[in-house]
Structure 1
C-alpha cells in the first residue's frame, strides 16, 4: 500500500493478521505486535472509523490478551516467527508496567466504540488480573504504582519510582472500566487515587504527602512532577504524563491552565514548535548523565535533544493536541499543523521523533504511532471523543 499524506495509509500498510506493527519499515524489531504502539494506533483507528483498521485493532488486543502472563503482565511485544510460533517479551532491562493500562484502555475503547459488549465481557477476567498486578506493584498499598527505571515507554530514560505518567494512565484505565462496568468499590478507589495524585505531584498545602520531607522542600512549578521516589522528586517536565492529565481533567482549572501556559511558552522557544518528551535535556556533565548513558541495552541514543532526552515525538504531541481540542481549539489546530509538518518530512516519512534543537529526523521511518498522533488530534477537532 502506498503511504501518503493521509496518516491512515500508514496504519493500513502496517496491518497484519495479528495486529498493528510498530512500523511499515523492514526492521525486524518493529515487525512485532507492541502493546503500547498497537493500542495507540488502535485508538486512532477508532477515531478514523476505517473498518479494516478497527478490525486490526481487535486483532491487536486479542494477540496481547492471549499472551498475558499468568500473573497478569501484558506483553511489551509479541513476535511471530515464520513457523507461526510466538516469542513474548515483557520488557528489556526492566519489565514494562504501562502495557497493562494501555491494554485495558484499548479494550474499553474498542468495546464502547463498536458496541461489542461481549468482547468486553470476554476480556474482563484479563482486565481484573491486570488490575490485581498493578495493585501488587504498589508494594506498600499506598495507591501509587512503583515503576522501575526503564519500566514504561521512556525505556532508556532516568525516571523511576512513582512515575506520574504511569499513575494517570492507570487512572484512565480504571475510569474506562468504571464507565462500562461500574462498581462502588472501584469508584471509591478512583476518587482516592485522584485525590492522592492531585495532592502529591505539585507543591502546595497537601495535608498528608507521601514523602513529607521531599514535599516540604518541593519547588512550586507550573506542571505535574515527573516522579516521586525514596530519594525525593524528579521535577523535569514530562509532556506525556502532563498531556494525559489534561485529557483526564486532573487538577483545578487554574492548575490545568498553568500546565498549558508552560507548555505553550516552551513550544514557542523551540524551532519545531512542539513539546519535547522531557525537559530540560540532560547534558554531559550534569549529575544524572551517568544514569542516562548507562541505561541502554545496545547503543546509546538519548543524546541531548533526542529520543526521550528532550526529543520531539509527534505521538506525544498528539495527546497534547487532543487535550486542547475542546477548550483551546486554535491551539490544538496549531499543534496538528506542526505534527503534520514533521510527518511530511522526506515525502511523508512519519519519522519516530526529531531533534528539538536541530530539527533533524531521528529514529525509524514509517512509525505507526507518529501517524496515530496526527489522526487523534484531527478527529478530536472533528468532535470525536475517546472513552475517558
Structure 2
C-alpha cells in the first residue's frame, strides 16, 4: 500500500473542494473550474471510500448543486460555474449530456446509503423521479434502450452514438441504486428489460428480437461488447469504461465477462503505461470514421491517434477497470492496475494528468485532474479496506 500516493490523491480532492462541490481540476483553467456532474460524482464515490468527512460533505454539496440547477423537464446540468454575479449552467455543448442524469441518480443513492442519510434521499426523490421519466422519454421507441446523440456523454468528442453501451449500463446502475431504497416492482421489471436488451444486442449468438437484425448479423464480435450501434450499423471499438461497467454490474454471460477481463488485462499489459486505453484501436486518418471523429470538436481537435478518447489512457477509466477486476476476485490484476494508475498520477511530481498518449506516454489535457486522483483513492480503498459500491 503506497501511503504517499494515497495521501497526495486525497490532498488533491481537498484542493478541489468548494462550498458548492468538487471542481474538475485544481488547474486554473476556466472550463474545469466548475462543478461537473460525472466528475463530481466520481470524486464523491472516492470520498465515500476514503471515509474523509470533509470530502463526504463536499460530495453532498456537489449533489445539492446539481439538484438545485435541474432543468424543469428533468435534465441534470453537465456542469455549473459559480461567478460573483450569477451561476452559469450548461446542460451540454454540441449535444446534451445524457450521463449527467444517470450519474446524479447514482450519486444521490450511493451518498444516502453510505451516510445513512434518508432525509437527503427523500429530499431528492422528486428530482430522481424527473430523471427517470426523462430517461424513459429518451428511449424514443419505448424498447428499453436509450438513444444517445453524438457527443452525448463523457466521450464527447468521440464517434459513439445511437444505442451506446456505456449509457445503457449507467442507467441499469442508476435504477438498481434507486431501487435499493424504494423496492419498486415496476423498476425491477424495467431493469430486467434493459438488461435483456443489452445482452441480446451486444453479445454474439443470442436469441431474442434484435433492434437491427441486418446490422447484428453483419457484425464481427471480438470478445467484448461493442461500443455502440445505430440505424447505420455497429461500431465495434473496445470501450474500456463500458465493458468495465458490464463486468462490475454482472451483465452478460459468464463467458463474455471472462472474455472482457482477459481482453482488457492483456491490452493493458501490452501498453507502455500498463493501462488500458479508453477506446481501442486508435482511429487513423485512413480509417472509415476519421472524418466523423475529426469534425466532432467544439474548440480544437484533440483526438489524435493514441490521445484523449482516441485510444488515450485515462487513470479514471482504469480505476473502474480495477474495480471490475476486483469484482471477479482478480485481486492481483486489480492491484497491478492500481500500481500503474499511481505511477501515471505521480508523473510530473504528482501532476495527476487527465490522460496520456498511449504510444509515447506523454501527458494530455489538464493537470491536477480531480477524477484521476479519485480513481486511485476509490480503487485503493476497494482493495485494502473492502469498500464496495452499491450495485
Maintained 8 Å contact 2:5/2:342: no
Moved more, 209-218 or 137-146: 209-218
Query: Are 1:385 and 2:351 an aligned pair?
Result: no
Query: Are 1:338 and 2:335 an aligned pair?
Result: no
Q: CA deviation at 1:287?
A: 1.4
3-state SS, counterpart of residue 8 of structure 2: coil
Partner of 2:120: 119
Partner of 1:280: 281
Q: CA deviation at 1:207?
A: 2.4
Q: How does 1:181-220 map to 2 (within 5 A)?
A: 181-220=182-221
3-state SS, counterpart of residue 91 of structure 1: coil
Cα offsets for 1:312-366 (capped at 9, x unmatched): 0000000010111241000000000000000000110000000000000111110
Moved more, 104-113 or 221-230: 221-230
Distance in 2 between the 1:5 and 1:115 partners?
A: 26
Distance in 1 between the 2:322 and 2:301 partners?
A: 30
Q: Which runs of 5+ in 1 are unaligned?
A: none
Partner of 1:16: 18
Residue in structure 1 matching 2:47, options 45, 48, 65: 45
Residue in structure 2 matching 1:76, options 50, 75, 78: 78
Q: CA deviation at 1:4?
A: 8.1
Maintained 8 Å contact 1:22/1:368: yes
Maintained 8 Å contact 1:3/1:9: no
Maintained 8 Å contact 1:5/1:344: no
Distance in 2 between the 1:24 and 1:205 partners?
A: 47
Maintained 8 Å contact 1:3/1:13: no
Runs of 4+ in 1 over 4 A off after TM superposition: 2-5
Q: How does 1:87-236 map to 2 (within 5 A)?
A: 87-236=88-237
3-state SS, counterpart of residue 344 of structure 1: helix
Distance in 2 between the 1:45 and 1:6 partners?
A: 14
Q: Which runs of 5+ in 2 are unaligned?
A: none
Count, aligned residues? 386
Cα offsets for 1:22-58 (capped at 9, x unmatched): 0011111111000010000000000001000000000
Q: CA deviation at 1:217?
A: 1.9
Q: How does 1:286-297 map to 2 (within 5 A)?
A: 286-297=287-298
3-state SS, counterpart of residue 226 of structure 1: strand
Distance in 2 between the 1:303 and 1:207 partners?
A: 39
3-state SS, counterpart of residue 247 of structure 2: helix
Partner of 1:303: 304
Cα offsets for 1:189-226 (capped at 9, x unmatched): 11111111111102113221111111112213210111
Cα offsets for 1:246-291 (capped at 9, x unmatched): 1111112221110011111211221111110100010112111111
Partner of 2:355: 353
What TM-score, normalized by structure 1, do the two folds share?
0.98
User: Would the alpha carbon gap of residues 103 and 325 (structure 1) be closer, same or farther in structure 2, given more than 3 Å must change?
Assistant: same
Cα offsets for 1:356-382 (capped at 9, x unmatched): 000001111100000001011101102
Q: CA deviation at 1:3?
A: 10
3-state SS, counterpart of residue 87 of structure 1: strand
Maintained 8 Å contact 1:202/1:221: no
Distance in 1 between the 2:256 and 2:111 partners?
A: 31
Partner of 1:364: 366
3-state SS, counterpart of residue 11 of structure 1: helix
